Amino acid sequence: MGVKLNVNGDVVDVDVSGDTPLLWVLRDHLGLTGTKYGCGGGYCGACTVHLDGAATRSCQLPVSTLQGRAIQTIESLDQRHPALVDTWTNNNVAQCGYCQSGQLMSAAALLDGNPKPTDADIDAAMTGNICRCGTYVRIRAAIHQAAGHQATGSAE
Amino acid sequence: MMNTITNLSPEFSRRRFLGVSGVLVLGASLPVRRALAQTPAGTFEPSLFLAMDGQGTVRVTVHRSEMGQGIRTALTQIVADELDADWSRVEVVQAQGDVKYGDQNTDGSRSITQNYDRLRAAGASARLMLRQAAANRWNVKVDDVAAANHEVVHAASSRRLGYGELATEAGLLPVPENAPLKKESEHRYIGKPVIHVDAGDIARGKGTFGADYAVPNMATAVVIRCPWLGGGVKSIANKPMNEPGLVAIETLDAAPSAGPLFAPLGGVGVVAEDTWTAMRIAQGLDIEWTGSPNQTFNSDELRQALRDAVAKPGTPVPGSEKGDVDAVFAAGGTELSATYETPFLSHAPMEPPVAVADVTEERCVLHAPLQDPQSARPLIAAQAGLTPDKVEVTPTLLGGAFGRKSKPDFALEAVELSKRVKRPVRVQWLREDDIRHDYLHASSAQHHRAVIDDEGKPTAWLQRSAFPSITTVFAAQAVQPAPWELEMGFSNLPYSVENQRMESTGIRPGARVGWLRSVCNIFHAFSANVFADEMASAVGRDSIEHRLALIPASGKLKQPGQPAPPGHELDFGRLRHVIERVRKLSDWDKPRPEGVGLGFAVHHSFRSYVATVLEASMDNGRPSVSNAYVVLDCGTYVNPDTCVAQMEGAVVFGLSLSLYGDISMKDGAVVQSNFHDYPMLRIAEAPATKVELVPSQGRLPAGVGEPGVPPVAPALSNALFAATGTRHRTLPIRT
């Protein structure tokens, strides 16, 4: 079926079967490979995107349900959250990096709704994102640091 | 140019590298299909690892695979430092698999150990050649010119030339041998925290992992494999025809049922125009499989066999016997004995195996997250029906590996399917495929028995270990653990015991066994560290005091069998030092609240020394770890921030296996399939972690990726004992 999608502010037409999860549309049909496949079951968060601003697992979203919804992917994060991207880089948060697109998208959605999250807020918002390399302590620190920059309007 | 330079003033206070003012950032993408040595004439290419063009852009070729351990950055730091290059003018080129580089196996935490000297020499030779070229141009002595930050300077005349301007002339000079190396105090990148070369790309979703690599006209395949090892396709009941997007359904030959087990498992390859179509069609197939001797394999029975094995004498480790253990046991005294058990584990890297192959009659081009592209190359050539010189194997970024991606079975599937459908093919493993068809970390059992004196010191110590040996994947006849498996924390126990015996037993499994981050050290460190804690608690002694009393004051361990190479020996002083430091770092002697316990463990592996203290309690019936303290002595280190990150990650990896890791097998098949039944530690469970690094002191560079893992599980078990009085001798610890 033909579906009109709003991805990172662009309207794009894709022709796929309606049950195709958004994840595979992004990766295979739109060349947006920053969003990763990790489990296909909504357990790991590697495929996290923003759907109308909310962190959502794209492996669980049939594309037929997304007409008219605003989809944002990791590829747009630099424009929207430069402090977060820089903080992640400057703190060497990533190890292998495969889960980090999803981690960043969950972190960005958290900061959008809660500019000064506590450790408990971070744990709650980030609990759906697995990192096998174990970068959690740096993720926590980087979110706090990025929140500080956002609050003062500075981006390193 | 792929370089992007960012001015940074990050907060490094968190990382305990005070006094370091700047952090270096080098942005580089993984170049796609760029071959080494395609530089035009007139450029400077004094080694396999280093090239420079007339603009002064330096290209460092990295011949190891990046899987999160920061190797693309660290190897580049070494070359750039000795070259005295401006970091902002350095690019990273990923090497293809090629014997010309020497060993390319990213495995065993040894990339720096093996390459530190040769890469320093590569940089230093190039720097001397650039100085010589400048000296020739100015007609002065080479000793009168100095290299500094991408320039050669003649101080006496205040003349200077950029490296790029000297590239052509330097390229005409012979490569000197034994070029002088910098002193440690002169290092500008080695030993300094440097931002990983791929960090900026990764934070923007631009890193190229295996599944992100794409070529025109590429199809995607999902393979359904027989649940048991050695089974093949008997029939496909409902093969679809004319399904939109379907390219082909291909039957792949079954793997053998016993070693060598490096071939693909076989099964049914569903090749489609996109991933979802392949997944959907694959899920709908009704496949009947042929039988295999492994179909009767059950992990519960293996676990019982392992327990039985350590309840009776095994094969003595040659050279391990000291004194007369049996005589001391017969004489009586305070005797302790305990049996420890660990289950099968799956690697579960966040990126499931994936590979892109483009096979034609003339060439095979393969891109995949491979730990050893060089050893994969002849296998890929054979699968493609080509000679190795017609095969290019380029590693992408590895989205985690932990040992899994040292086996190229998934790459061979892509090669076979590309050959069949005459198109580029990406083989995408699903998470379920990854968990069910791994090379599993071996299940094991250990038995310890000791007679201890009033201070808890063993006068006699018998150790037994039983596990399916990794050598079973190499050969159908292999049974007994190999010496190198026993040297992972078993036969090289660092404690003074007058009467000692070590015995091992191997059992053949009905599954593929492989190496997982720190390998046999996981179960050997677990049992030895918990048993030592049991000795201390039996006489009411502090665990760290007690442990220090077991370790000789100085000298090096003489291990049974082959002696360790110089610099690799276990040094008792260094082992004691990390223990003393973790005691301070963790405030070990400060009493904790009721219900909160501290647990200590120490382990030497991959030439490094790691002491770990965990603070734990029970929270709603589940173990909970609030703080982790780790001291690492890895000899000379290149990127201290990476070393700290690897210890932080090792705590999480170690806690995942301690609290959750449990793969079981029934009727030859793995029972678990995804993160709902093979869970990982999540952020709320990750303890606050403090890491200290012992200064380099000019010592042999040792391993960093793996040695942080082994002490975690025993430190947790010991902490829970301190908190609750309950001993945990079986992993995972669920309640």
Average pLDDT over residues B290-312: 98
Q: What are all long-range contacts of A11-14, with beta carbons under 8 Å and residues at least 24 apart?
A: A14/A63
Burial class from Cβ neighbours inside 10 Å (0-12, 13-18, 19+) for residue B237 reads: exposed
Contacts of B676 in chain A (CB under 8 A): 41, 43
CATH 3.40.50.620 applies to domain A77-152: no
Span(s) in chain A for CATH 1.10.150.120: 77-152
Residue of A nearest to B678 (CA): A43
Q: Which among A1, A95, A126 is the top mutation candidate for probing chain B, defined by the most B β-carbons within 10 Å of its own β-carbon? A: A95
Contacts of A142 in chain B (CB under 8 A): none
Closest by Cα among B524, B531, B558, B527 to B546: B531
Is the ipTM above a cut-off of 0.90?
Answer: yes
Contacts of A98 in chain B (CB under 8 A): 209, 349-351, 397, 399-400
Give A152's pLDDT tier (boundaries 50, 70, 90): low
Alpha-carbon distance of B411 to B432, in angstroms, equals 18
Continuous segment of H or E residues that includes residue B581? helix B572-585
Pairwise CB contact (< 8 Å): A75 & B205: yes
CATH topology assigned to domain A2-76: Ubiquitin-like (UB roll) (3.10.20)
Specify the amino acid at residue B177.
Answer: E
Contacts of A78 in chain B (CB under 8 A): 204
- For chain A, strand residue ranges (E) read 2-7, 10-15, 48-51, 54-57, 70-72
Closest by Cα among A3, A33, A36 to A19: A3
C-alpha distances out from residue B358 to A112, B30, B564, Å: 43, 19, 43
Contacts of B11 in chain A (CB under 8 A): 145
CA distance A34 to chain B (A): 4
Assess whether pLDDT exceeds 50 at residue B37.
no
Share of residues in chain B with pLDDT > 70 (%) = 94
**What percentage of chain B's residues is helix, strand, coil (to nearest 5)?**
30, 25, 45
Strands B58-62 and B90-94: parallel
pLDDT tens-digit map of B425-471: 999 999 999 999 999 999 999 999 999 999 999 999 999 999 999 99
Selecting from B351, B646, B682 the residue whose C-beta is nearest the C-beta of A127 gives: B682
Pairwise CB contact (< 8 Å): B275 & A36: no
Selecting from B14, B23, B653 the residue whose C-beta is nearest the C-beta of A141 gives: B14
Selecting from B399, B430, B674 the residue whose C-beta is nearest the C-beta of A96 gives: B399
Give B509's pLDDT tier (boundaries 50, 70, 90): very high
Alpha-carbon distance of A57 to A42, in angstroms, equals 6
Size of interface A-B (CB pairs under 8 A): 210
Average pLDDT over residues A9-35: 97
What is the per-residue pLDDT for B29? 36
Assess whether pLDDT exceeds 50 at residue A44.
yes
First to last CA, chain A: 44
Selecting from B196, B674, B689 the residue whose C-beta is nearest the C-beta of A43 gives: B674
What is the per-residue pLDDT for A4? 95
Assess whether pLDDT exceeds 90 at residue A27.
yes
Q: What is the mean pLDDT of chain A?
A: 95
Contact (Cβ atoms closer than 8 angstroms) between residue B616 and residue B599? yes
Domains of chain B: 13-202 (3.30.365.10), 210-293+362-428 (3.30.365.10), 299-346+439-724 (3.30.365.10)
Continuous segment of H or E residues that includes residue A102? helix A100-113
Average pLDDT over residues B660-664: 98
Residue of A nearest to B194 (CA): A92
Assess whether pLDDT exceeds 50 at residue B64.
yes
pLDDT tens-digit map of B137-181: 999 999 999 999 999 999 999 999 999 999 999 999 999 999 999
**What percentage of chain A's residues is helix, strand, coil (to nearest 5)?**
45, 15, 40
C-alpha distances out from residue B110 to B64, B105, B106, B705, B727, Å: 10, 9, 8, 9, 35
CA distance A47 to chain B (A): 11
Selecting from B23, B642, B676 the residue whose C-beta is nearest the C-beta of A43 gives: B676
What is the per-residue pLDDT for A151? 60
Span(s) in chain A for CATH 3.10.20.30: 2-76
First to last CA, chain B: 55
Q: Which among B30, B64, B71, B202 is the top mutation candidate for probing chain A, defined by the most A β-carbons within 10 Å of its own β-carbon? A: B202
pLDDT tens-digit map of B561-582: 888 888 899 999 999 999 999 9
Give B10's pLDDT tier (boundaries 50, 70, 90): very low
Average pLDDT over residues A91-119: 98
Selecting from B67, B199, B220 the residue whose C-beta is nearest the C-beta of A92 gives: B199
